[in-house]
Amino acid sequence: MPNNPYVLTFGKEPVEMIPRLSQSKDLIESFMEEKPSQQICLITGVRGSGKTVFMSTISREIASDNHWIVVELNPERDLLISLAAKLNSMNYLANIFKTAKINLSFLGIGLEVSGSAPLTDIESALIQMLEAIQKHNKKVLITIDEVSNTSNMRIFASTFQILLRKNLPVFLLMTGLYENIHSLQNEKSMTFLYRAPKITLEPLNIGTMTENYQQVLKYDYEKALKYAKLTKGYSFAFQVLGYFSWKYKDDEKRIYIEFKQYLEEYVYEKIWAELSAIDRDVAYAIAESPDGSISDIRQHLNMDSNQFNPYRMRLIRKGIVNGQARGYLYFTLPCFAEFVKESHF
Ligand SMILES: Nc1ncnc2c1ncn2[C@@H]1O[C@H](COP(=O)(O)OP(=O)(O)O)[C@@H](O)[C@H]1O
Ligand SMILES: [Mg+2]
């Protein structure tokens, strides 16, 4: 039997991929404009919604244009030093820096450059490096996966703001959970991030998913559609359901049970642990409501609109709840209502 084509691991671009055509086109085009109006974009969404994979797809596509240099940074490290070191590790750029007599030896990067004093300040070093890059008509895209409000990030962001002010060709793409991005954006010194565009990952296309299940699992249209709908377009669920369907063939009951348990153990329990006691009560009221009507849910909770609204908004922003239909709330994640009913005491 050939290997299971669906993957249960996070963060790696899967073999079976449902493209996000419009969201990636919009982002790439906005960065590639001649005079881009935005040089930052934040990608947010619930765990498993596909943030890391989306960012990898975008960076690969941008990197294929030879005007662009893409640098991936680890948010746990000293981001400014890493950025300078990574740029300098590309032969082509190292030569440009050498010709421009940018001496990074004091910063522990690269060799002594004769005839110029070593730069002692990382920010000035980056400014000079980017000016040299700009002269060669290149642009730099920096990607950072899973950001949170750490001192490394705050230091990096404040320097990035200065690079932008100097009109240097730097672009920043970051992913993070809503609460982490929110906390970073609300730092007093981060007003420029507050205005940065945010992409909330949309559910994957159900039609394309249906076709994938038809082709890969050899399901007929009706069954493939039923399974695609069962995922609610949630990226991780698409892989998990595909995986167990491949593994257990026609044992629908077993597929469903393991699908649900896998989502719970790998995602839902973490989400649940991060909710406050009242968030959980609200989630429970949504799960119990027969049709998701907000007035029922509020009644169940004994809350008026003013009390209820902040909780509603937070669950929507975290990507757990969909509030697009006026007056109604639904969970965006498959089997989440059952999970909540089983977890809430
Ligand atoms: N566009 C996509 N099509 C199909 N599967 C996807 C897609 N994006 C992500 N996935 C799958 O969803 C899961 C979570 O993706 P990941 O990018 O790691 O999520 P996040 O970073 O938001 O937690 C992985 O199993 C991945 O293979
Ligand atoms: Mg990720």
Each residue's pLDDT tens digit, 197-210: 999 999 999 999 99
Report whether pLDDT(115) > 80.
no
* pTM (2 d.p.): 0.95
Measured from the Cα of 11, ligand 1's closest atom is: 18
**In whole angstroms, what is the distance from residue 246 CA to residue 243 CA?**
5
Report whether pLDDT(191) > 90.
no
Residue 167 CB coordination number (10 Å): 10
Measured from the Cα of 14, ligand 1's closest atom is: 27
How is domain 21-200 classified at the architecture level of CATH? 3-Layer(aba) Sandwich (3.40)
For residue 48, the ligand closest to its alpha carbon is 1
For residue 75, the ligand closest to its alpha carbon is 2
Dump pLDDT digits (tens) for 267-301: 999 999 999 999 999 999 999 999 999 999 999 99
Where are the chain's structural domains?
A: 21-200, 219-343
Distance 31 CA to ligand 1 centre (A): 23
Dump pLDDT digits (tens) for 153-190: 999 999 999 999 999 999 999 999 999 999 999 988 88
Among residues 335, 272, 271, which one has the least CA distance to residue 45? Answer: 271
Dump pLDDT digits (tens) for 22-51: 999 999 999 999 999 999 999 999 999 999
Residues near ligand 2 ion, CB 5 Å cutoff: 52
Measured from the Cα of 46, ligand 1's closest atom is: 22
Taking CB atoms and a 6 Å cutoff, what residues make up the pocket around ligand 1? 7, 10-11, 14, 17-18, 20, 45, 47-53, 204, 235-236, 238-239
Measured from the Cα of 57, ligand 1's closest atom is: 1
- pLDDT (mean) for 302-326: 95
Ranges assigned E (strand) in the chain: 40-44, 68-73, 139-144, 170-176, 198-200, 321-322, 330-331
| Number of alpha helices (DSSP H) and beta strands (DSSP E) in the chain | 17, 7
Strands 321-322 and 330-331: antiparallel
- Output the six-digit token pair for 102: 């940018």
For residue 201, the ligand closest to its alpha carbon is 1
Question: Tell me, what's the pLDDT at 1?
Answer: 67
Q: Give, in order, the Cα–Cα distances in Å from 210 to each of 238, 244, 249.
A: 10, 16, 16
Lowest pLDDT segment from 77-81, 178-182, 185-189, 233-237: 185-189
Distance 11 CA to ligand 1 centre (A): 6
- Output the six-digit token pair for 219: 């399901």
- Nearest residue (by CA) to ligand 1, atom 13, is 236
Question: Tell me, what's the pLDDT at 262?
Answer: 98
DSSP 277-323: HHHHHHHHHHHH-SS-BHHHHHHHHT--HHHHHHHHHHHHHHTSEE-
Q: Quickly state the pLDDT bin for 123 (edges 50, 70, 90).
A: very high
Distance 53 CA to ligand 1 centre (A): 5
Measured from the Cα of 18, ligand 1's closest atom is: 3
Question: Tell me, what's the pLDDT at 106?
Answer: 79
**Most informative mutation of 6, 7, 8, 10 for ligand 1 (most atoms within 8 A of CB):** 10
- Output the six-digit token pair for 343: 């977890």
Distance 214 CA to ligand 2 centre (A): 28
For residue 13, the ligand closest to its alpha carbon is 1
CATH of domain 219-343: 1.10.10.10
Distance 28 CA to ligand 2 centre (A): 20
